[in-house]
Amino acid sequence: MEKRQLGKSGLEVSALGFGCMGLSFGYGPPTDHDDAIALLRATHEKGVTFFDTAEAYGPGHNEELVGEALAPVRDEVVIATKFGFRNGVPTDGLDSRPERIRQVADEALMRLKTDRIDLFYQHRVDPNVLIEDVAGTVKDLIAAGKVKHFGMSEAGPESIRRAHAVQPVAALQSEYSMFWREPEAEILPLLEELGIGFVPFAPLGKGFLTGKMTAGTEFAKDDFRSTVPRFQADALAANQALVDLVTGIASEKACTPAQVALAWLLAQRPWIVPIPGTTKLHRLEENLGGADVELTGDDLARIAEELGRIELRGERYSATHQSLINR
């Protein structure tokens, strides 16, 4: 697979990474242990070198899966993990105190069966801790050899600038897809200015852009989409115009809607590395095929024009997930 540089950090990864969250958190019951290990190893065998996990995905369980699966090929992959939630549980609130960051780093190193974290993200900005103290703590971890690069997630422009002034930010991870284009206004220009890479999570719109959902789609209670306004029946029906657009392009390109969605992201900037996730091998293979879909300048201009006409309905998080949108 083609490689990409995350900004000016020197961190080189496969053009598509793998988001590991869904193996143990957020989208229903955890994947069987052996199946998860097999999928992670198959992902690497198919050319992916960038794996994204977090203390909060389990908590801890996801890191353990990644550590076990990738231990035999540790020097061939880039592993990213995150700190920032109290007790590693998003609903417990935010916690980026320096002592907590150091604790999370040490525990992650053990769970990941490694001696360094390649990319250590602040999962969400903590308004109770100066961002300079957060960046300074990670800077110390880098000096100690425990961490290689500093990242942020869902951070706003001011927080990014202030952190970057203390310790260069290698990558920002935030939601970005045709289903959520907010980063285009301020974030992408800022990242280009500062030389920071961008790692879009939910690049398939949490499954919406695959074209597999309808107004009648029902989510299990342990699937967090069941509480998200954007995935309620009325919103799914109203937003079908976006699926129609993606499906139409896919038909023309003889590929799938998911592949179009990923190809569109890759075409936005050369330093963008989406991290689609899945629990199924055939979906993994489908997603990776997105890196081979070529969208021409005319294709992109047409998509941009059509996207400008589509008014999407529904918030991307419910009030109960407020900590996930803290800036």
pTM over 0.85: yes
Q: What pLDDT, on the 0 to 100 scale, is given for residue 120?
A: 99
| Selected catalytic residue, list 27, 57, 121, 176 | 57
Radius of gyration of the chain (CA): 19
* Cβ atoms of residues 324 and 90 within 8 Å: yes
Domain extents in the chain: 3-325
Q: What pLDDT, on the 0 to 100 scale, is given for residue 325?
A: 62
Q: What pLDDT, on the 0 to 100 scale, is given for residue 193?
A: 98
Q: Which CATH superfamily is domain 3-325 in?
A: NADP-dependent oxidoreductase domain (3.20.20.100)
260: its two tokens: 């179009």
Sequential pLDDT tens for the chain (327 residues):
999 999 999 999 999 999 999 999 888 889 999 999 999 999 999 999 999 999 999 989 999 999 999 999 999 999 999 999 999 999 999 999 999 999 999 999 999 999 999 999 999 999 999 999 999 999 999 999 999 999 999 999 999 999 999 999 999 999 999 999 999 999 999 999 999 999 999 999 999 999 888 778 888 888 878 888 888 999 898 899 999 999 999 999 999 999 999 999 999 999 999 999 999 999 999 999 999 999 999 999 999 999 999 999 988 877 766 556 655
72: its two tokens: 């035999």
156 by DSSP, 3-state: which? coil
Catalytic site includes residue 57? yes
Residue partners of 149: CB distance under 8 A and separation at least 6: 6, 9, 11, 118, 119, 120, 142, 170, 171
What whole-number distance in Å separates Cα of residue 199 and Cα of residue 53? Answer: 13
Q: What pLDDT, on the 0 to 100 scale, is given for residue 277?
A: 97
